[in-house]
Amino acid sequence: MMPIGPLMKEHRLIEKMLQLMEKEIEKMKKFLKANPLFIDITVDFIRMYADRTHHGKEEEILFRDLAKKELSPNHTKIMEELIKEHIWARTTVGKLVDAKNQYEKGNVKVLNDIVKYLTELTEFYPKHIEKEDKHFFIPVMKYFTKEEQDKMLQEFWDFDKTLIHEKYEKVIENLQNK
């Protein structure tokens, strides 16, 4: 298996979450009410799965290794775009959290902001995923030998094994600091 296999599989789960987000957006528009629990679940999914797990492997392993290669100008440009898009997604999720917190404090006027940020994320990710799946992942594998790909794949598995520990160490740290 090429190292892009797990990344593309992760995309399929992200797409399923996007479908749930779209349904929730429709409920918000229909009933003029946000579901803070759904937003918390969405934020956790995006931060832990889409960003930390998925983007983490891309940025900390794949992009790191690609930076050591002599990439075509097009592949360099796409990689730079992907990094900027990851930053944009993190910022947008932060705005969603801020709006949800205001909503929970009684500011119902931010419902439009909540819908806006969720919509932006549901519109962003399909394009981002398509760019990676169809225009980047497969072509950049040519820069790596079979041995390098195998090493990267192993590093992906090792990366995933540490995530649950990382998450709950942060949970404990946050609770201790309260």
User: Is pLDDT of 22 > 90?
Assistant: yes
Overall domain count for the chain: 1
CATH number of 91's domain: 1.20.120.520
Tokens of 139: 């072509």
Full-prediction pTM beyond 0.85? Answer: yes
Mean pLDDT of 100-109: 97
Res 42: pLDDT:
97
Res 53: pLDDT:
94
Domain range for 37 is 4-176
Q: For residues 57 and 7, what is the distance between their CA atoms, to the nearest angstrom?
A: 8
Portion of the chain with pLDDT greater than 70, in percent: 100
Res 175: pLDDT:
87
Closest C-alpha to 130, from 38, 4, 8, 43: 8
- Classify residue 167 as exposed, middle or buried by CB count within 10 Å of its CB (0-12, 13-18, 19+): middle
**Single-letter amino acid code for the residue at 66:** L
Q: Give the pLDDT band of residue 170 (cuts 50, 70, 90).
A: confident
Tokens of 171: 């949970």
